[in-house]
Amino acid sequence: MVAAGAGYALTRYDPRWLHAVNVFLVVNWFGDSLDGTLARYRNRLRPRYGFYVDHIVDMYAFLALLSGLALSPYMSRSVAFGLLVVYYMLSIHIYLSTYTEGVFKIAYGKVGGTELRLIMIAGNLVLLIYPRVTIAGRSYALYDVAGTIAMAAMAVALVASTVRSTRRLYALERIDAGPRSS
């Protein structure tokens, strides 16, 4: 993902770097999928270590990717920063839910890591032809529009998941009023 982020940054000089970004996204997907599969196949599972390393690396990877996008002509720094903040907030919720409820859910709706990479690969190919879109007579970077929509969707998912988790935890740990003293 560091290489993908660097590729995005290099699109300032040549948009064909988007092809390299797509290759790096595929390499990242392969590596991200392979580590756990290989551990299971070799019966060398280390669930806490693997969980921690996998997700802390994802945090740095997303930072690298969005930093590269922020340096590209395809996404403004404010949208990249907003996406990073919402992604980190959603991640915090996921990790807290994993700890408090024993439920680990990384995908929301039908969008997980694989789907996100495929969307980005397709989006990068579209960027080569249509880097900007016009909405209500104003021109915007395509990834600013897509990033804003993604931010809104992630924020809705975060709020809805927070409400559900809070309700479940409240129901699990109700405090009875107990005997009343006069």
User: Domains of the chain: which residue ranges?
Assistant: 2-172
Q: How far apart are CA 31 and CA 37, in angstroms?
A: 10
Q: How far apart are CA 39 and CA 53, in angstroms?
A: 13
Residue-wise DSSP of 66-82:
HHHHHHSTTS-HHHHHH
Residues 6+ away with beta carbon under 8 Å from 167: none
Q: How far apart are CA 49 and CA 39, in angstroms?
A: 12
- Give the dihedral of Cα atoms 15, 129, 4, 55; nearest 10 deg: 160
Q: How many CB atoms lie within 10 A of CB 21?
A: 26
The CATH number of 2-172, from 1.10.10.10, 1.20.120.1760, 3.30.565.10, 1.10.3720.10, is 1.20.120.1760
pLDDT tens string for the chain (182 positions)?
A: 999 999 999 999 999 999 999 999 999 998 887 777 777 888 888 888 888 888 899 999 999 999 999 999 999 999 999 999 999 999 999 899 988 988 777 766 677 788 889 999 999 999 999 999 999 999 999 999 999 999 999 999 999 999 999 999 999 888 876 666 65
Say how many CA atoms lie within 13 Å of 50 toward its Cβ: 13
pLDDT digit string (tens) for 94-144?
899 988 988 777 766 677 788 889 999 999 999 999 999 999 999 999 999
Angle between helices 77-101 and 47-71 (to 10 degrees): 170
